[in-house]
Amino acid sequence: MRGPHDWDGRRLVLTAGVPESRTFAWTGPSAGIGDTGELIMAAWDLGDVEKRYLRFIERFERVTPESGREAFVNQVLLIQEWRRFPFLDPDLPAELLQHDWPGPRAAAVFHDLRNRWHRRAQAEWDVMEDGTATSG
């Protein structure tokens, strides 16, 4: 007996007369209809996202702020750059990506640097905030 969520997607597509090359069905694990790689490439420009991750890593991983002000400035830049990724990266499961995806490495760089710079950046912010409050 078939349950309410069992369905034969291939039969449904063929009955509707839609060419399999123009369809994709996803009900959890792949239903074997369509080409997963083609769907992903059509839906997202993963090449561009990958390049952005690699530039992010290259730009920030070797930055070593010498002062509290440099820590503050670099942390602001780090966060501003990082916050774009949720809008760009569909966060696909690793098995759908064709190679070693740089997203996790970029996330590790982000979290490591934010944690290392936070105390000095916050202290610099506090100094700037106190300076503004007393002069105005």
Q: What is the mean pLDDT of the chain?
A: 85
What tens digit of pLDDT does each residue of 59-77 get?
999 999 999 999 999 999 9
Q: Which has the higher per-residue pLDDT, 123 or 41?
A: 123
**Selection from 45, 7, 42 nearest residue 26 by Cα:** 7
Residue 82: CB partners within 8 Å, gap ≥ 6? 56, 110
H-run or E-run covering 63: none
What's the N-to-C CA distance of the chain in angstroms? 76
What tens digit of pLDDT does each residue of 102-124 get?
999 999 999 999 999 999 999 99
CB 78 within 8 A of CB 113: yes
**Selection from 69, 55, 70, 63 nearest residue 112 by Cα:** 63
- Supply the pLDDT for residue 47: 92
Distance CA 114, CA 74 (A): 9
Q: How many residues does the chain have?
A: 136
